[in-house]
Amino acid sequence: MASKTMHHVVIGSDTYEIVDEQGRATAATNTQDITALKEDISKIEPGLSDDAKTALLNCFQHVAWTDEHGQTYYNALESALYADSYPKITAKFNPGLNVIYTDDTLDSLKQYLTVKYYETEESIGTVIASASYSLSGSLVEGASTVFVSYSGLTTSFVIDGVVDYYNIWHWSMANGDFSVRSGTIDYWINETKVRYTFRASWDTRRGVTAPKGLLPYRVWGTDADMTPYYPIPIPKDANKVTISITPNTQYIYTQVMHVSNGNVTRITSKGWTQGTTEVTFDKDENNAVFFNTKYDSDGSTYPTDPTEITIAFEEV
C-alpha cells in the first residue's frame, strides 16, 4: 500500500490536517470545514500576508477532495481570504418565516436571496438576476452552507434551522403542521393497485392531510393524485405513534403504511379509539401514518371539527 504524506496547516488557534494524493483531503471535506476556516481567517489581525494567502491556497489546490465540490470549497476559501478585494459578490439570505427543508431544491432558495456584484470598493452594488448565478452545496438538517457562483466569483451563506421533513417527531394541527379535510381516507385495493385514497367530500368523517410527503392521496376509485394532500411521514427510527384529539370525546381510526416505488403496503391498523390512540410497528424508512376522525361513535354527522390533534412519534 502506498504511504500517505501528512501536512498540517495552522490557521488561528486551529490545525487542519491535509492528506495529499495518495490519501484524502480530510480538511474541508464539507462546508463546515470551510466555514470554520473562514471564521478563523476573520479573527487573524492584522491578517495574512499575500504570500501566506497564496501558500495556503496552493496547499488546498493540491489535495485530493473527497467529493465533487472541491473546486467550490476552494473558491469559497479564496473569497474569504480576499474578502476585501474587488470585484466581488455578496449574498444575503432572508426566508422570513418560511421553513427550509432538506429536500427543497437549491433554485427554490433564490426567491429569498439577494446577490450583489461590486466592481470596486466605491461601487454601490448591482443586484444580479437569479438566472445569472448558480447555487451549489447540500441542504442538511440544522445549518447548511450554500455557495453562490457568478462570473468566476464565489461567495457563500449559511441557512440555520433546515428541517428534515421526513424525520419530524412531533406534529400539531393547531400549529399548522397539518389539517383535516372532509372525506374518509382509506386503503383501496383494486386488482394490482394498492394506494391510500380519499373518498368523496360528502363523507361525514374527516381525514388528516399534510402539505407534502412520500406519495399523495388519490381520488377514490381513480388514478388521480390529490396533490398537495399527503399522509404524515414517520421518522425512520420511530416504531410507535401516539395520536390525541381535542375534544377527547371524538374518535380516531389509524393506519400505518409503507411506501416503496409508488406502491403502498399496510403495516398495521388500529380501530376507532376515543380521545387518544397508540400504535406500534416495525421501524423502517418511508413509512407513513394516516387516520380518520369522527365526531361520535355513530359518525353520521360532524357538527364541530376538532380544535387540536397532536401526533408524537417514539422509538421504544
Domain stops at, among 82, 114, 137: 82
Contact (CB, 8 A) for 295 and 272: no
| pLDDT reported for residue 14 | 46
Largest CA distance in the chain: 81
Based on the fold, state whether residues 172 and 293 are members of the same structural domain.
Answer: yes
Top-confidence residue, 268 or 17: 268
Over residues 275-301, the pLDDT tens digits come to: 999 999 999 999 999 999 999 999 999
Per residue in 141-171, pLDDT tens?
A: 999 989 899 998 888 889 999 999 999 999 9
User: Is residue 65 domain-shared with residue 94, that is, in the same domain?
Assistant: no
Residues 78 and 191 in one domain: no
At which residue does the C-alpha cell 481570504 appear? 81
DSSP string, 225-252: B-TT-BPEEEPTT--EEEEEEESTTSEE
CA distance 78 to 81: 5
Q: Tell me: do 105 and 209 sit in the same domain.
A: no
Place of cell 432538506: 102
Q: Is 110 helix (H, G, I), strand (E, B) or coil?
A: helix
Residue with cell 409508488: 262
Structurally, how many domains does the chain consist of?
3
pLDDT at 61: 66
Among residues 209, 229, 225, the alpha carbon closest in space to that of 293 is found at 209
158 lies in the same domain as 178: no
Please name the residues in contact with 47: beta carbons below 8 A apart, sequence gap of 6 or more.
none
Residue 208 has pLDDT above 90, yes or no: yes
Q: Would you state the cell numbers that stand for residue 255, as one nine-digit string?
A: 393506519
* pLDDT beyond 60 at 84: yes
User: Do both 63 and 103 map to the same domain?
Assistant: no
String of DSSP letters for 139-192: --SEEEEEEEEETTEEEEEEEEEEB-GGG--EEETTTTS-EEEES-EEEEEETT
Answer for the pair 143, 131: CB distance below 8 angstroms, yes or no: no
Write down which residue in 144, 163, 182 finishes a domain: 163
Task: Give how far Cα 125 sits from Cα of 31, 89, 90, 122, Å.
Answer: 26, 9, 9, 9
Residues 292, 251 within the same domain:
yes
The DSSP bridge pattern shows strands 153-162 and 142-150 to be antiparallel
**193 in the same domain as 76:** no
- Same-domain pairing of 3 and 94: no
Average pLDDT, the chain: 84
Instruction: Identify the pLDDT of residue 16.
Output: 46
Where a domain ends, among 137, 163, 189?
Answer: 163
In this structure, the answer to whether residues 76 and 91 fall within a common structural domain is: no
169-195, pLDDT tens digit by residue?
999 999 999 999 999 999 877 656 678
Shared domain for 8 and 135, answered yes or no, is no
Do 8 and 71 reside in the same domain of the chain?
A: yes
The pLDDT, as a whole number, for residue 36 is 63
Q: What is the pLDDT of residue 34?
A: 59
| Structural domain for 105, as ranges | 86-163
